[in-house]
Each structure stands twice: as C-alpha cells, then as structure tokens.
Amino acid sequence: DADVTQTPRNRITKTGKRIMLECSQTKGHDRMYWYRQDPGLGLRLIYYSFDVKDINKGEISDGYSVSRQAQAKFSLSLESAIPNQTALYFCATSGVKGNTEAFFGQGTRLTVV
C-alpha cells in the first residue's frame, strides 16, 4: 500500500457542485499539504497543516477549504466547483526538522465541466 493515499484518483464534476478530495497517510508525519498542478506548470500550495489544530493558507487558497480530521487524514473541499479548478491535485506529508523529506500521493485528476 502507498504511504500517502488519495481518493478519488479521477473525478468529473459539474460547475457549482461541492466536492471533497481525501488524503490519508501511514508515514506518521505531523505535516500535511495540498497542492495543485496545472498543465505545464509546477505545483502550487493550497493549504498546509502542521498538526490537527493547525491549518494555514497557502498561495492559492481562495475557493478551497480543508479539514484535518486526524493526524493521518487531511481533506480538501471545493465548496462550489468552477471550471478553472480543473487540475491535478496532490496531497503530501513531511517529517520534522532533521529530515523533512516530502512524500506525495498519487494525485487526483479533477475535471469541472
């Protein structure tokens, strides 16, 4: 099994619908992240969390919300999806100081029509 698991892997949804992307990890890491990748571009940070009670906005948080349900679970919600949120979404985890190597999930390909 993968260390960082995202569900669903692919999703097509309609404009205006609410959608949740889920992420779970078995790395035991406190830090979790949601990134978005648009075609031909690098990854951009949406939200990040350093523990269950700590949630922070990244550079492109507008239109998104998150929930850290447990140390191992971090979900991303699009309250009212719009077509320009069509992208590849990644969840990631990283360790604490000394070894902060990041590990990524397989990605969720989201299409908003």
Pairing, β 87-94 against β 108-112: antiparallel
CB 2 → other proteins: shortest distance, Å?
A: 10
| Pick from 83, 60, 84, 73: nearest CA to 20 | 73
Question: Which SS3 state, helix, strand or coil, does residue 83 take?
Answer: helix
Nearer to other proteins, 14 or 44 (CB): 44
Query: Which residues make beta-bridge pairs with 23?
Result: 6
Given the rule CB under 8 A, which residues bind other proteins? 31, 33, 35, 40-45, 48, 50, 56, 58-59, 88, 90, 92, 94, 97, 99-104, 106-107, 109
What is Dmax (Cα atoms) for the chain?
Answer: 44
CB 68 → other proteins: shortest distance, Å?
A: 15
Nearer to other proteins, 55 or 88 (CB): 88
Nearer to other proteins, 58 or 63 (CB): 58
